[in-house]
Structure 1
Amino acid sequence: MSLDYIRETYKVPAVLNGRVRYSGDAFQREGTIVGARNAHLEVQLDGDDFAGNYHPTWKMEYLPAQPAPCKGNCQTWIGNRSTGHIQCADCGRPKP
């Protein structure tokens, strides 16, 4: 089954690389949709090095899409004082 099938059947906004919050464990965890298999989502939860199989509606919250990276119009900078490395908080480009 595909993500198209999951979207149409379960009426959820499941998309590849979409972010979700799963609350079926003792605590909530966020993760990324990495695929679909047998009408279930394959989600890699943050901190895991593998993807698990999750039902699209059971204790699954679909998070809003993040804004697109700044694409060179950098406004917010972050850095490490000890190394002096400063980069854009949105796109990661080093500060000139």
Structure 2
Amino acid sequence: MTSTMEWIRRHYGVPARHGMRITYDGKPATIVGAGNAGLRLRVDGERRIVPTHPCWRIVYPPVPEPARPRGWCAHCGTDRAMTKDGVMGKHHQHGRSWGTYSSTTWSKPCPGVGKPPTHRVINQTHPGEQKDISA
């Protein structure tokens, strides 16, 4: 199951993240949430939260490409690392190692391993794997 923000990133191809600083309608703003396939923003100097479409009047800051290529697994629908051959790397359906107990089921290796992704990740969703662009 994916979060709403992750779904927005995948569906609209935008780098939206909670707390991200953006420009909305020419004014600086912060993304404070997501829901119903839209974003919730707080424009600087205003008290109210603005619900908006992820592609409407928003300018996102540049986001670096991932250090390792990533893609969306066709089976479990999550953002995962790919191998050098362009196929999905080893991962588990619930993101846990084999043998650990999830609240309802045991985690098993995902059947999508070794298969091509539905599409590559354009906007990085895991900030710990971003390249350092400050240098």
TM-score (norm 1): 0.58
Aligned with 1:16: secondary structure?
Answer: coil
| Counterpart pick for 1:8 among 7, 10, 17 | 10
Taking the aligned partners of 2:19 and 2:53, their CA distance within structure 1 comes to 16
Offset of residue 64 of structure 1: 4.6
Counterpart code for 1:56: P
Identity of aligned residues (%): 38
Aligned with 1:33: secondary structure?
Answer: strand
Offset of residue 63 of structure 1: 2.2
CA contact (8 A) 1:19 1:64 kept: no
**Runs of 4+ displaced beyond 3 Å:** none
What's the RMSD between the two structures over aligned residues?
A: 1.6
Count of aligned positions: 61
Q: Match for residue 43 of structure 2?
A: 45
Q: Judging by fraction of residues, say which structure has more strand.
A: 1
Q: Match for residue 55 of structure 1?
A: 53
Offset of residue 8 of structure 1: 0.4
Taking the aligned partners of 1:63 and 1:51, their CA distance within structure 2 comes to 20
Q: Match for residue 24 of structure 2?
A: 22
Offset of residue 4 of structure 1: 0.5
1:62-94 deviations in Å (ceiling 9; x for gaps): 1257xxxxxxxxxxxxxxxxxxxxxxxxxxxxx
